[in-house]
Amino acid sequence: MEDVQTKILLLNEEIIIPELNFSWVYDIVNYHKAGNLPKYGTIKLFAGYFSLDPSYFYEWRLKKLLDFIDKNRRFLDVLDELMIKYKERILKK
């Protein structure tokens, strides 16, 4: 991760990817959660610069999950039911 962090800082200075939102880069470097998720293309560009798979980034995985839930609303209901059961089980222990 240190190597990636160093490259990110250099990237910020070089501005190699003009489409990149540097507030998102700052959030990654400083382990902050970004307020707005970047577009898939932005994450792909960023990942490509570091020769990483886009799924390396939390934002990519979160965006994929949110898109899936948006297209499959029933899945969210199932998750909600599972969370209730899980919490009940924990409280019994």
pLDDT band at 61 (very low <50, low <70, confident <90, very high): very high
pLDDT at 11 over 80: no
Q: Which residue has the higher pLDDT, 92 or 86?
A: 86
State the residue for tokens 């960023």. Answer: 46
Q: What does the domain layout of the chain look like in residue ranges?
A: 2-92
pLDDT at 60 over 80: yes
CB atoms closer than 10 angstroms to residue 24: 20
| pTM strictly above 0.85 | no
34-43 pLDDT, tens digit per residue, is 567 778 888 8
C-alpha 54, offset from chain centre: 9
C-alpha 27, offset from chain centre: 11
